[in-house]
Amino acid sequence: MKTVIVTGASSGIGFATAEAYIKRGYNVVGNARTLDRLQTAAAQWGNPANFLPVAGDIADPATATLLFERAVAAFGQVDILINNAGIFIAKPVGDYTQDEVKSIVDTNLMGFFYPSQAAARHMSANRSGHIVTITASLALQPTAKVPALLPILIKGGLNNATRGLALELAASNVKVNAVAPGIIDTPMHGKDEGTRVFLKGLSPAGEIGGVQDVVDAVLYLTESGFTSGVVLPVDGGATAGTW
């Protein structure tokens, strides 16, 4: 039975991704800041025996170390890492506060680097594994309609880091990919109809994607034996060009 670590597993895309792997019979090690949130998520899944909650700040290197230590102790090895934890704050560049800058850099950048570093060490030694990072299609093609310099800066870096790490780990048989979602229907967008009309206009399809669309992309990448270094947009065609 394979083992997957999912960061940001208590809500949104991370919750749905963890749930999908649980249903497929994988051992799932889920991370979030607090144990309460992970326990709430586990209760929604029926408290499955193949789910192990590990709380902690993913920006802290000690949390990444703990995730792999606990996973190995419980299940033997880690086969998949899903770097899902992230913060998205869209606003004009002049309006970002110092706290927001620190929060985004900590969670989006350090929360990718330290788990990926731990995964690279572990998976290279095992000569197998998959690392998938959730980034953002906006970082592939920015738009004046959504000023969001900090997410573009960090997520854009993660898109390129995905390619670089894929090359670095290719000889160790470790696959490294990313999924770059566009506008996805999650609670962060609310239910205001005016907002939803605007969000639909951010893709040529004129639609908002579903969480399952992202999960399906993640599952494809972690089940492929010959796909690496790919940043897969799931955005209704928003990065295909202008319209």
CATH number at residue 156: 3.40.50.720
Is this structure's pTM higher than 0.85? yes
Q: Which residues contact 23 (CB under 8 A, 6 or more apart)?
A: none
- Reduced to 3 states (helix: H, G, I; strand: E, B; else coil), residue 243 is coil
Q: Is residue 239 part of a domain?
A: no
Residue 233: exposed, middle, or buried by beta-carbon count in 10 A (0-12, 13-18, 19+)? Answer: buried
- Identify whether 240 is part of a domain: no
* Bridge partners (DSSP) listed for residue 31: 7, 54
Residue 14, pLDDT > 80, answer yes
Could you tell me if residue 89 is inside a domain? yes
* pLDDT reading at 191 higher than 90: no
- As given in the structure block, the two tokens for residue 220 are 């494809």
242 in any annotated domain: no
Give the mean pLDDT of 111-131: 98
| Domain contains 50 | yes
In a domain, 152, yes or no: yes
pLDDT at 193: 84
pLDDT > 80? residue 196: yes
Q: Please report which confidence band the pLDDT of residue 188 belongs to, taking 50, 70 and 90 as the band edges.
A: low
Looking at the domain assignment, is residue 11 inside a domain?
Answer: yes
Dump pLDDT digits (tens) for 27-71: 999 999 999 999 999 999 999 999 999 999 999 999 999 999 999
Q: Would you place residue 187 in the very low, low, confident or very high pLDDT band (cuts 50, 70, 90)? A: low
Report H helices in 76-137: 98-104, 111-126
Q: Is 63 left (phi over 0), alpha (psi -120 to 50) or beta?
A: alpha
Tell me the average pLDDT of the chain.
Answer: 96
Expressed as residue numbers, the domain containing 49 is 3-234
Q: pLDDT over 90 for what percent of the chain?
A: 93
Tally of structural domains, the chain: 1
HSE on the CB side for 243, CA within 13 Å?
Answer: 13
Using an 8 Å Cβ cutoff, are 148 and 89 in contact? yes
In a domain? residue 75: yes
Average pLDDT over residues 116-121: 98
User: Phi then psi for 181, rounded to 5 degrees?
Assistant: -70, 150
Distance CA 138, CA 146 (A): 9
Predicted local confidence at residue 243, as pLDDT:
80
Cβ-contact 205, 236 below 8 angstroms: yes
Task: Determine contact, residues 83/111, Cβ cutoff 8 Å.
Answer: yes
